[in-house]
């Protein structure tokens, strides 16, 4: 099951009451208690609510959700059965929930659920929506009309796409995800350094090569028929959550289906709210999520950002005796050499300045990170100044 593990789950979760702050104990699959006016007394965390998504969203308190992941109907507009060259029938998406009478009807539906999602998003929240060429451009236009702020479009390149059986078009080998902040001033979450670290220290690109949902991960009924035609892979949801949310965040999925969002959220220490109008899908999702055993916190906890670490001036290294005035620093290939001064600056010829300015001057560049450019000689070889800075930070943390 990809990143997920099966096991037992507790029968209840502690939920904070948004209006009064009173705690309540509630079953994760029990419907929430509602006020007469229609607003919830309790945020329905880790629950699957059955019904129309817009109506359900209107019952949630405003600014209560950190992240929305939406996999709405694509409005595929299939004109009839899709068949292979041997005339066998392709198991395509022809469910009623994907059928709309017109583009105007689809646009009105899209505007309604996006408006409702924006209301429940926190000011610094964000939304991800996935689609195909049939709908994603319409969705993107409406997103901008409503005030969402586009951050990226992500291409999910499928490792095993369905071929174009008629040979009249290119094989449709990708889907598109839009990542948008609630507004232009939102301080959205993005774990740049963690993603880079897991990507061989290269920036994570906006094209993701991932397989379709297959094998044991694909939910099937007793007859071996897949429960949902468009079940998304856990790896896709895991990358979304690891990149744009924190442990404990509330993830809302207004088109919950068979619960991939909830399953991955539970495994990764997030909370979820699932909205699904089909009772059969909701039942399958609850059963699936109940079997998920969360990963240990150390497997998903957010790595500290370098920007969040305490500032350490180079002078602190001199004062701590980790480097000495009069000692030389050099680059990795020993092409440049500067002298450390007692005041924490460097001297390169007649020039005196910070480790950054002198590093830039040595290379003829407008800027330089002196911590990762300059080294000092030690018995074991050259050592980055950044490593010595880490020693100071460790002492500060211990203190």
Instruction: Looking at the structure, tell me whether residues 252 and 332 fall in a common domain.
Output: no
Instruction: Looking at the structure, tell me whether residues 283 and 330 fall in a common domain.
Output: no
Residues comprising the chain, all counted: 399
pLDDT of the residue at 305 = 66
Give 125's DSSP letter: E
Residue 22 lies in a domain: no
Give 147's DSSP letter: T
Residue 290 lies in a domain: yes
Task: Find the mean pLDDT for residues 41-65.
Answer: 92
Ramachandran region of residue 87, left (φ > 0), alpha (ψ -120 to 50) or beta? left
pLDDT of the residue at 211 = 85
3-state secondary structure of 179: strand
Give the best-scoring range by mean pLDDT among 100-114, 210-224, 351-365: 351-365
Burial of 10 (0-12, 13-18, 19+ CB in 10 A): exposed
Q: How far apart are CA 91 and CA 96, in angstroms?
A: 15
Burial of 43 (0-12, 13-18, 19+ CB in 10 A): buried
Residue 328 pLDDT > 90: yes
Residue 225 lies in a domain: yes
Instruction: Looking at the structure, tell me whether residues 225 and 371 fall in a common domain.
Output: no
Q: How far apart are CA 131 and CA 72, in angstroms?
A: 7
Instruction: Looking at the structure, tell me whether residues 268 and 138 fall in a common domain.
Output: yes
140: pLDDT confidence band, cut at 50, 70 and 90? very high
Instruction: Looking at the structure, tell me whether residues 73 and 220 fall in a common domain.
Output: yes
Please say which residue of 247, 274, 299 terminates a domain. 299
Residue 178 lies in a domain: yes
Residue 181 lies in a domain: yes
Provide the 10 A C-beta neighbour count for residue 292: 21
Instruction: Looking at the structure, tell me whether residues 291 and 325 fall in a common domain.
Output: no
Residue 190 lies in a domain: yes
13: pLDDT confidence band, cut at 50, 70 and 90? very low
Burial of 380 (0-12, 13-18, 19+ CB in 10 A): exposed
Q: How far apart are CA 192 and CA 304, in angstroms?
A: 11
Residue 98 pLDDT > 60: no
Radius of gyration of the chain (CA): 26
Burial of 109 (0-12, 13-18, 19+ CB in 10 A): middle
11: pLDDT confidence band, cut at 50, 70 and 90? very low
The strand order across the sheet containing 381-384 reads: 351-353, 346-348, 337-340, 328-330, 375-378, 381-384
Instruction: Looking at the structure, tell me whether residues 334 and 290 fall in a common domain.
Output: no
Number of domains in the chain: 2
Q: How far apart are CA 142 and CA 96, in angstroms?
A: 23
Query: 388: closest CA among 314, 331, 298, 287?
Result: 314
**What are the tokens at 356?**
């950054």
pLDDT of the residue at 94 = 56
Ramachandran region of residue 238, left (φ > 0), alpha (ψ -120 to 50) or beta? alpha
Please say which residue of 271, 299, 327 terminates a domain. 299
pLDDT of the residue at 208 = 94
Rounded to the nearest integer, the mean pLDDT of the chain is 84
Query: 240: closest CA among 295, 298, 180, 162?
Result: 180
pLDDT of the residue at 165 = 63
Q: How far apart are CA 74 and CA 93, in angstroms?
A: 9
Q: Containing domain of residue 372, as a range? A: 314-398
Q: How far apart are CA 210 and CA 173, in angstroms?
A: 11
Instruction: Looking at the structure, tell me whether residues 133 and 248 fall in a common domain.
Output: yes
Residue 21 lies in a domain: no
Question: How, if at all, do strands 149-158 and 174-181 pair?
Answer: antiparallel
Q: Work out the percent of the chain whose per-residue pLDDT is above 90.
A: 62
Q: Give the Cα-Cα-Cα angle 339, 342, 344 (nearest 5 degrees).
A: 75
The strand order across the sheet containing 271-276 reads: 47-50, 271-276, 250-253, 65-70, 121-131, 174-181, 149-158, 207-210
Lowest-confidence region among 50-59, 68-77, 304-313: 304-313
Instruction: Looking at the structure, tell me whether residues 268 and 367 fall in a common domain.
Output: no
Q: Work out the percent of the chain whose per-residue pLDDT is above 70.
A: 81
Q: How far apart are CA 26 and CA 269, in angstroms?
A: 18
84: pLDDT confidence band, cut at 50, 70 and 90? very low
Please say which residue of 299, 326, 355 terminates a domain. 299
Task: Find the mean pLDDT for residues 334-359.
Answer: 97
Instruction: Looking at the structure, tell me whether residues 190 and 325 fall in a common domain.
Output: no
Task: Find the mean pLDDT for residues 147-158.
Answer: 95
Instruction: Looking at the structure, tell me whether residues 175 and 52 fall in a common domain.
Output: yes
Instruction: Looking at the structure, tell me whether residues 214 and 113 fall in a common domain.
Output: yes
Is the distance from CB of 12 to CB of 27 less than 8 angstroms? yes
Residue 70 lies in a domain: yes
CATH number at residue 155: 3.40.50.150
Lowest-confidence region among 218-232, 259-273, 309-323: 218-232
24: pLDDT confidence band, cut at 50, 70 and 90? very low
């Amino acid at each position: 099951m990809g990143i997920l593990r099966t096991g037992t789950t507790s029968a209840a979760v502690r939920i904070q009451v948004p209006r009064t702050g009173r705690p309540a104990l509630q079953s994760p699959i029990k419907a929430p208690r509602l006020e007469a006016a229609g607003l919830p007394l309790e945020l329905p965390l880790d629950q699957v609510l059955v019904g129309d998504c817009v109506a359900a969203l209107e019952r949630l308190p405003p600014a209560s959700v950190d992240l929305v992941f939406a996999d709405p109907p694509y409005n595929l507009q299939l004109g009839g059965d899709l068949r292979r060259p041997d005339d066998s029938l392709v198991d395509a998406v022809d469910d009623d929930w994907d059928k709309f009478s017109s583009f105007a009807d689809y646009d009105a539906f899209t505007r309604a659920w996006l408006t409702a999602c924006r209301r429940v998003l926190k000011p610094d929240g964000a939304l991800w929506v996935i689609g195909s060429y049939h709908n994603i451009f319409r969705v993107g236009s409406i997103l901008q009309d409503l005030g969402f702020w586009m951050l990226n479009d992500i291409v999910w390149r499928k490792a095993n796409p369905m071929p174009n059986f008629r040979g009249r078009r290119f094989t449709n080998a990708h889907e598109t995800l839009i990542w948008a902040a609630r507004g232009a001033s939102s301080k959205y979450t993005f774990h740049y350094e963690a993603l880079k670290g897991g990507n061989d220290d290269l920036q994570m690109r906006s094209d993701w090569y991932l397989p379709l949902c297959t094998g044991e991960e694909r939910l099937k009924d007793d007859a071996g028929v897949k429960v949902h035609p468009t079940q998304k892979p856990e790896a896709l949801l895991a990358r979304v959550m690891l990149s744009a949310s924190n442990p404990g965040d509330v993830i809302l999925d207004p088109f919950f289906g068979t619960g991939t969002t909830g399953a991955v959220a539970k495994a990764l220490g997030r909370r979820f709210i699932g909205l699904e109008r089909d009772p059969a899908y909701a039942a399958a999702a609850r059963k699936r999520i109940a079997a998920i055993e969360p990963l240990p916190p150390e497997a998903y906890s957010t790595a500290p950002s370098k920007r969040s670490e305490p500032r350490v001036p180079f002078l602190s290294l001199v004062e701590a005796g980790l480097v000495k005035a009069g000692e030389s620093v050099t680059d990795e290939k020993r092409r440049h050499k500067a002298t450390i001064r007692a005041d924490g600056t460097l001297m390169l010829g007649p020039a005196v300045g910070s480790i950054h300015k002198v590093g830039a001057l040595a290379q003829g560049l407008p800027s330089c990170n002196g911590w990762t450019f300059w080294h000092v000689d030690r018995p074991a070889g050259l050592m980055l100044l950044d490593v010595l800075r880490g020693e100071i930070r460790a002492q500060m943390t211990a203190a």
